[in-house]
Amino acid sequence: MYNVKYFNATKSYRKAYQCDYITANRNAHRLMVIEGIKEEIMRLKQQLVDSVEEILNDEIGKPLLP
């Protein structure tokens, strides 16, 4: 969830595990290449985009993208 919030793997790792920058940077990179983790982050980000688009479409009354 932190990755979706911050769009930054290192910051997200530090927030989740309260560790130093170097450790977070190394471990976040390792996690981001694991296919299941990468797919879940992409799914959550797409869900966020879809929610924002829906809210904006309701506000302006027409789709933003064709």
Segment 6-57, tens digit of pLDDT: 999 999 999 999 999 999 999 999 999 999 999 999 999 999 999 988 888 8
pTM of the entire structure?
0.70
Confidence of residue 66 (pLDDT cuts 50, 70, 90): low
Structure confidence at residue 60 (pLDDT) = 78
Determine the length of the chain.
66
CA pair distance 66, 45, nearest whole angstrom: 20
Of residues 64, 62, 60, 34, the one with CA closest to residue 49: 64
Which tokens is 30 given?
A: 């390792």
Whether 21 and 10 have beta carbons less than 8 Å apart is answered as: yes
Residue 6 one-letter amino acid: Y
Please provide residue 21's backbone torsions phi and psi, each rounded to the nearest 5 degrees: -60, -45
